[in-house]
Amino acid sequence: MEKMNPDLIPITSWLPTTLKEAKRRGWEELDVVLVTGDAYVDHPAFGTAVIGRILESLGLKVAIIAQPNWRDDLRDFKKFGKPKYFFGVTSGNMDSMVNKYTAGKRLRSTDAYTPGGSPDFRPDYATIVYTKILKELYPDTPVVLGGIEASLRRVTHYDFWQDKLLPNILTMSGADLLIYGMGEQPLRDLVKFLLRGVPFHSLKTLPQTALLIDEKEELPKNKQWETFELTSHEKCLKDKLSYTKNFMHVEVESNKQFAKRLIQKVEGKTLIINPPYQTMTEKEIDASFDLPYTRLPHPKYKNRGPIAAYEMIKFSVNTHRGCFGGRSFCTISAHQGKMIASRSQASIMKEVDHITRMHDFKGYLSDLGGPSANMYQMKGIDQDICDKCAAPSCIFPQVCKNLETNPRHMTELYRKVSEHPKVKKAFVSSGLRYDLMFNPRSQHPKEDEEYVEQLITHHVSGRLKVAPEHTEDNVLKMMRKPSFEYFKIFKKKFEEISAKIGSKQEIIPYFISSHPGCTPEDMARLAAKTKALGYKLEQVQDFTPTPMTVATEVYYSGYHPYTLKPVKTAIGLDDKTKQRTFFFWYRPENRNYIKNFLAKNKMFDVAKELFGQI
Ligand code: SF4
């Protein structure tokens, strides 16, 4: 089959980014205009492209304003005029503050979602800035929010960058509706009603949306939903314990298949968060991935340099969405859901085939993965039990008996992809949950073994990154992560198989410092235990409190949302830097500090491991 030459693809294959491009499609006016903080990459891994393609598939005329200039005469915002139905606003694939600032609150020098990496193409709190501008220019046109930034700021939340609690993002931006989580299902229903002529502002009971009504207004009726009232925003501001308890309710509901509707009083209004849709079926998720993406950045970026986030994933395939790991510092289940929505093998192979025809594809797929690579096709054995379950994780503190963890579908998929005549190698570089591979209660040890063998023999690109995150049980428990012993088992197996196939491939472990509940003593033990395994660590990170995670609530409030017991956390820069120092025990400049700390705390065993003596 012939390679695709991107220069020969007609401009009308992308969604329009200018009025001229819209006219080339024969569109004089638009139904929906999407505004995003990222460059427009027409690829299923980029939220704006997905939303644009869904709207297009529903017969709407949709255009994209990517990275508009918010500091000039606002011509970017005006270029399409007023759309017939609504503006859709997103900060892009990341929360704009996480995108722009480091864990130390320093401005990043590059932006992975901007051509050439230029760091100055999106404002702080992009969703709010864009919405306010649109509301100023077109006060009567509804604005619908979506994407990570809006989704995870849908209720009172802690903002690390301002170091305070903020109200939900509808209150802050003035938008009319918020779609949280993955947008396909709510968007389809929203459009269905709008096309039938239902007025926008009467749509108050769409699942997976949030909106504000006047405090005195009666709650919209929906007989199927129970309603739970959260502590008001104003009380949260005054009482950290009430706030952190609030979060527990939000998380519990977002992990249920049949959640309650949440309401919260805020500044004279009532915030309504309607329950989410059920997990997407295979047919539904396939339909989203099978839309006619060019899989390329818009040609207007051609001379502006590469878009790093695109370069990273352009030869990779997302096999599923969702994550049932429930890590305390992770936002995936709050956004994509706890249950896994897996694509069919046919849909995945169709995408693999498309990639092999890309002009610069050299035969190497960089990733066959998902939020956790090895959860593909995993689900509850008895769905009725899952339907009544509110556990934040299906694998912590141990793998649930009702979870089907047989990896045979993945092994089959990996083999099938490897057999594609144009694929030399397909790597797995997304995160892996090795506790699933070495589950002591597994009912299918043979299939587990086959998967591990297939993975390590054929799908490692030299260095396999895995994330134990920590070595100490008390910290791992706080993170909702398995014991470090699982890492050791995985490492041993990895080395055995690698030796058997004569490969020099290695495991690169990834760790976090300053996670709530982690002390300098824990970090000292981490240093000793990883040194004992022969590591000088490289892949490390300081904990960043991002909106809507258990760990963030502990960081802010000092209490665990579930137990309401106090938890100590490194807050100040000094304490955080000290914790980080232990990662780099081997650097001469850190020796004295670490040695003194160990002597003072009588941690002679650690000192002996790290330095031979004190
Ligand atoms: S019953 Fe088990 S598998 Fe199902 S949702 Fe609950 S923890 Fe997960």
What is the three-state SS of 413-429? HHHHHHCCCCCCEECCC
CB 277 within 8 A of CB 185: yes
| Residue 613 predicted with pLDDT over 90 | no
The number of residues making up the chain comes to 614
| Residue 76 predicted with pLDDT over 90 | yes
The residue whose CA is least distant from atom 8 of ligand 1 is 394
| Residue 614 predicted with pLDDT over 70 | no
Residues 132-159 have a mean pLDDT of 98
Q: Residue 336: its pLDDT value, please?
A: 86
pLDDT, one tens digit per residue, over 386-405 is: 999 999 999 999 999 999 99
What is the atom index within ligand 1 of the atom nearest the CA of 324?
A: 8
Q: How far is the CA of 455 from the centre of ligand 1 (A)?
A: 26
| Residue 1 predicted with pLDDT over 80 | no
| Residue 353 predicted with pLDDT over 90 | yes
| Residue 410 predicted with pLDDT over 70 | yes
Q: Which two tokens stand for residue 592?
A: 């004295």
Residues 303-324 have a mean pLDDT of 96
The residue whose CA is least distant from atom 1 of ligand 1 is 386
Most informative mutation of 372, 398, 400 for ligand 1 (most atoms within 8 A of CB):
400
The residue whose CA is least distant from atom 5 of ligand 1 is 386
What is the atom index within ligand 1 of the atom nearest the CA of 257?
A: 5
Most informative mutation of 278, 324, 333, 439 for ligand 1 (most atoms within 8 A of CB):
324
Residues 211-232 have a mean pLDDT of 96
The lowest-confidence range among 234-248, 331-345, 421-435 is 331-345
Q: Give the number of other CB atoms < 10 A from CB of residue 127.
A: 31
Residues 6+ apart with CB under 8 A from 23: none
Q: How far is the CA of 338 from the centre of ligand 1 (A)?
A: 9
Residues in contact with ligand 1 (CB, 6 Å cut-off): 324, 380, 385-386, 389, 391, 394, 400, 402-403
Mean pLDDT value across the chain: 95
| Residue 434 predicted with pLDDT over 80 | yes
Q: Identify the band that residue 347 occupies on the pLDDT scale cut at 50, 70 and 90.
A: very high
Q: How far is the CA of 341 from the centre of ligand 1 (A)?
A: 15
Residues 263-282 have a mean pLDDT of 97
Find how far residue 369's CA is from the centre of its chain.
13
Q: Give the number of other CB atoms < 10 A from CB of residue 153.
A: 28
What is the atom index within ligand 1 of the atom nearest the CA of 255?
A: 5
Report the share of the chain in percent with pLDDT over 70.
100
| Residue 95 predicted with pLDDT over 90 | yes
Name the residue with tokens 């900060």. Answer: 91
Report the share of the chain in percent with pLDDT over 90.
94
What kind and span of H or E run contains 349?
Answer: helix 345-356
Q: Which two tokens stand for residue 166?
A: 């903020």
Residues 72-78 have a mean pLDDT of 97
- Kindly provide the b/e burial profile for residues 94-114, where b requires at least 16 CB atoms within 10 angstroms of the residue's own CB: bbbbbbbbebeeeeeeebbbb
What is the atom index within ligand 1 of the atom nearest the CA of 393?
A: 7
Residues 429-453 have a mean pLDDT of 94
Query: What CA–CA distance (Å, rounded) separates 512 from 476?
Result: 10
Q: Which two tokens stand for residue 151?
A: 């989704």
How is 317-336 classified by DSSP, letter by letter?
A: EE-EE--S---TT--HHHHH
Nearest residue to 464 via CA among 493, 442, 436: 493
Q: Residue 6: its pLDDT value, please?
A: 84
Q: Identify the band that residue 350 occupies on the pLDDT scale cut at 50, 70 and 90.
A: very high
Q: How far is the CA of 48 from the centre of ligand 1 (A)?
A: 32
Helix axis angle, 588-600 to 520-532, nearest 10°: 120
Handedness of CA 28, 32, 36, 40 (dihedral sign): negative
**Which phi and psi angles does 373 have, rounded to 5°?**
-60, -35
| Residue 513 predicted with pLDDT over 80 | yes
The residue whose CA is least distant from atom 7 of ligand 1 is 394
Q: Residue 573: its pLDDT value, please?
A: 87
Helix axis angle, 573-581 to 588-600, nearest 10°: 100
Query: What CA–CA distance (Å, rounded) separates 366 from 383?
Result: 34
| Residue 408 predicted with pLDDT over 90 | yes
Q: What's the Cα-to-Cα distance from 2 to each of 10, 348, 353, rounded to whole Å?
A: 17, 20, 11
Residues 6+ apart with CB under 8 A from 539: 465, 508, 509, 510, 511
Nearest residue to 319 via CA among 296, 350, 293, 292: 350
Q: Residue 333: its pLDDT value, please?
A: 82
pLDDT, one tens digit per residue, over 555-598 is: 999 999 999 999 999 998 899 999 999 999 999 999 999 999 99
- Do β-strands 227-229 and 261-266 pair in parallel, antiparallel, or remain unpaired? parallel
Q: How far is the CA of 225 from the centre of ligand 1 (A)?
A: 22
pLDDT, one tens digit per residue, over 43-63 is: 999 999 999 999 999 999 999
Residues 225-251 have a mean pLDDT of 96
The residue whose CA is least distant from atom 4 of ligand 1 is 386
| Residue 99 predicted with pLDDT over 80 | yes
Q: How far is the CA of 587 from the centre of ligand 1 (A)?
A: 45
Most informative mutation of 279, 339, 389, 404 for ligand 1 (most atoms within 8 A of CB):
389
